[in-house]
């Protein structure tokens, strides 16, 4: 039980990597508030989790992550309900692989708003709470493309380079407040996001993975458990790759 008694907020917690993080955190004794984009998907995820283990302390919310004041209100309500926030996982994200000449300015703005601005919106009110309570842990979800870039869909790698910049900068700024800030950079991981990519793209990437397989959401979630736990008490400003050594 690496996270016993900790209170965690996980955005994009209804499915994929975020859902695996929610389950691993619950298994390790945390109380989890999972955030999703819609009431139906949040309710469905909560029902599935409760049927797995009725003792798990899990609740759900669905604020609009692209609305700063709605996000701030949601963070405050978590603090009011649980008394603290120990762990914030910024996991919600979207990807797009459109070539540049078909890319629109709206596409670019949409991806930056959710993948970058929304992290700022969750972090600002949460960091204030964490500072006041004496510390906390923030973990952002980056991507292997934040190291290598990718040959189409420029908004997505750009957003993940920005996630890394925010992570290492805030790690340095918030260390004095005992707030650790890290990111996990998954490689190709078997979720809906990858299912949405053309099969040929996934096959081409998978063939280049030295460990010989795409990641499972649980492989990635284990890194989120480690970084949230006291085992990582001296780790901050780290972008932890979980990608089977696939860097291109």
Q: Which is nearer to ligand NAD, 117 or 133 (CB)?
A: 117
Report how far residue 141's alpha carbon sits from residue 182's, in angstroms, rounded to the nearest whole number.
9
Classified as helix, coil or strand, 85 is coil
Q: How far is the CB of 246 from ligand NAD (least distance, A)?
A: 10
Which of 52, 4, 63, 51 is CA-nearest to residue 32?
4
Q: Which residue has the tokens 């109380």?
A: 31
Helix, strand, coil percentages in the chain from 3-state DSSP, rounded to 5: 50, 15, 35
What's the DSSP call for residue 117?
Answer: I
Active site residues: 156
Q: Which is nearer to ligand NAD, 68 or 178 (CB)?
A: 68
The CA-based diameter of the chain, rounded to the nearest angstrom, is 52
Interface residues toward ligand NAD, by CB under 6 A: 12, 14-18, 36-37, 65, 91-95, 114, 141, 143, 186, 188-189, 191-194
Report how far residue 36's alpha carbon sits from residue 13's, in angstroms, rounded to the nearest whole number.
6
Q: How far is the CB of 133 from ligand NAD (least distance, A)?
A: 26
Q: How far is the CB of 178 from ligand NAD (least distance, A)?
A: 26
Q: Which residue has the tokens 């910049």?
A: 165
Q: How far is the CB of 171 from ligand NAD (least distance, A)?
A: 19
For residue 105, give both structure tokens: 């300015």
Q: Which is nearer to ligand NAD, 43 or 131 (CB)?
A: 43
Contact 163, 240 (CB under 8 A): no
Q: How far is the CB of 143 from ligand NAD (least distance, A)?
A: 4
Q: Which is nearer to ligand NAD, 55 or 106 (CB)?
A: 106
CA angle at residue 217 from 171 to 236, to 5 degrees?
15
Q: Which is nearer to ligand NAD, 80 or 192 (CB)?
A: 192
């Amino acid at each position: 039980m690496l996270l016993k008694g900790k209170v965690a907020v996980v955005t994009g917690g209804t499915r994929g990597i975020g859902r695996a993080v929610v389950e691993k955190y619950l298994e390790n004794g945390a109380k989890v508030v999972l955030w999703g984009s819609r009431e139906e998907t949040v309710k469905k995820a909560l029902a599935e989790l409760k049927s797995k283990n009725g003792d798990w302390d899990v609740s759900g919310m669905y604020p609009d992550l692209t609305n700063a004041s709605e996000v701030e209100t949601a963070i405050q309500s978590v603090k009011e309900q649980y008394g603290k926030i120990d762990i914030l996982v910024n996991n919600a994200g979207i990807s797009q692989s459109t070539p540049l000449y078909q890319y629109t300015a709206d596409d670019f703005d949409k991806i930056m708003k959710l993948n970058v601005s929304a992290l700022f919106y969750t972090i600002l009110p949460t960091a204030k709470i964490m500072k006041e309570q004496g510390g906390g842990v923030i973990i952002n979800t980056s991507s292997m493309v934040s190291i290598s870039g990718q040959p189409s869909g420029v908004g997505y790698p750009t957003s993940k380079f920005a996630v890394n910049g925010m992570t290492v900068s805030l790690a340095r700024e918030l260390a004095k407040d005992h707030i650790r800030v890290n990111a996990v950079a998954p490689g190709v991981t078997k979720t809906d996001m990858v299912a949405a990519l053309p099969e040929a793209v996934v096959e081409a990437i998978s063939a280049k993975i030295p460990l010989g397989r795409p990641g499972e959401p649980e492989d990635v979630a284990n890194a989120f458990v480690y970084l949230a736990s006291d085992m990582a008490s001296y780790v901050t400003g780290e972008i932890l790759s979980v990608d089977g050594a696939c860097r291109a």
